[in-house]
Amino acid sequence: MGMKETVLEKFAEVFGDSEGVKVYFAPGRVNMIGEHTDYNGGHVFPCALTIGTYAVARKRDDRKLRFYSMNFDALGVLESSLENLKPEKEAGWTNYPKGVMWAFGEKGFEIPNGMDILLNGNIPNGSGLSSSASVEVVTGFILRDLFGFDVTNTDLALIGQYSENKFNGVNCGIMDQFAIAMGKKDNAIFLDTADLSYEYAPMKLENAKIVISCSNKKRGLGDSKYNERRSECETALSEIQQVVGINSLGDLTEEQFETYKAAIQDEVRVRRAKHAVYENQRTIKAVEALKNNDVELFGKLMNESHVSLRDDYEVTGEELDTLVEEAWKVDGVIGSRMTGAGFGGCTVSIVKEEAIDRFIEQVGTAYEKKIGYAADFYVVEIGDGPVIL
């Protein structure tokens, strides 16, 4: 039975019938390179995946909202209403779709009817492959489809980010929502987060695949050091702005940074800002390498990205470092780095096809031996953005 049949059957079971429903899908994403640059006005290079969030939805005649997630089935049906769109601890995961509904209202799109919504995600939970952004984008996609709102896919990304910032209190950049809303099969998105200009770059990985290694270390984004890193960079930027007229750290080349970094009053902030600047330049070089079919150089830049995230930005931690350092030992690994916010979550590796089984065996064994619990591995494909199924 396919996922569409599975979610339709479950919807009928939970909500009594499945008359008048539609089925939707929005992907998860992985960022190949360009980490913690998206709120520093730099470039990112994510792609959408073929795993993601499936949703079944239908309009109601009243203002009631009824949510059910197959990933949190013990919670049963969570009820709310369009009159009561405010973040609440007990609302759990439904704060994400509710946040998007609230954000639509804030942007002038009043939602006239309540809905019954069922979700089922096949993104590993807590993996850092952006299950929350996937839920946000699929919710916006549902609202546009059911109520005919005049919004583009870029708008869906911006509304998703707005809801996460303002409703859920996570100071995230635009990358996750944008990668999901704008995904294109077999391409990654070279996005300049300063002005949202972007281009698609084909990920032509001859005889190699993308492998995601999930650390299974749980982390909560909002209560992690994410907001702390963000404010360290904002302070460093304002110090550099005392000596040179820039809008973001992403405006600087490596040479310019070395010239102006003395303006930053604190050694830790120097390292944070250095990562933002150098990582942005690495991302630009990596896309150039891909265009020249130089996958080896792309991999080398991925490795350098991890070192910078480990030493200068300090967001990796033992679990991610172990996954990456063990990956580097495997013959046939072109590049490997942590991806996502850090402190847990996943690594992304480009691995030659003939080495994939060995990679999973070797890295998996070493990880479990050192960390004490197992990692999970996913060989992934690059897919499209949101669709109606």
Please give the positions annotated as active site. Answer: 176
Residue 316 pLDDT: 93
DSSP state of 382: B
pLDDT digits (tens, 9 = 90+) for 320-344: 999 999 999 999 999 999 998 888 8
Please state the three-class secondary structure of 347-371 as a single string.
Answer: EEEEEEHHHHHHHHHHHHHHHHHHH
Distance CA 44, CA 127 (A): 19
Which pTM value belongs to this model? 0.92
**DSSP one-letter string for 287-339:** HHHHHTT-HHHHHHHHHHHHHHHHHTS---HHHHHHHHHHHHTSTTEEEEEEE
pLDDT digits (tens, 9 = 90+) for 192-226: 999 999 999 999 888 999 999 999 987 655 456 88
Q: What is the CA radius of gyration of the chain?
A: 21
Q: What is the dihedral of CA 320, 386, 160, 140, to 10 degrees?
A: -150
pLDDT digits (tens, 9 = 90+) for 43-84: 999 999 999 999 999 999 999 999 999 999 999 999 999 998
Alpha helix (H) ranges present in 219-266? 226-241, 254-260
Question: How many Cα atoms occupy the beta-carbon half-sphere of 367 within 13 Å?
Answer: 28
Residue 222 pLDDT: 44
pLDDT digits (tens, 9 = 90+) for 233-257: 999 999 999 999 999 999 999 999 9
Q: Are 337 and 299 in contact (CB under 8 A)?
A: no
Residue 102 pLDDT: 98
Q: Are 227 and 82 in contact (CB under 8 A)?
A: no
pLDDT digits (tens, 9 = 90+) for 337-382: 999 888 888 999 999 999 999 999 999 999 999 999 999 999 999 9
- 3-203 classified as CATH 3.30.230.10: yes
Distance CA 325, CA 334 (A): 13
Beta bridge partners of 190: 199
**Residue 242, token pair as written in the block:** 């005392």
Whether residue 150 is predicted with pLDDT greater than 60 in this model: the reply is: yes
Question: How many Cα atoms occupy the beta-carbon half-sphere of 167 within 13 Å?
Answer: 29
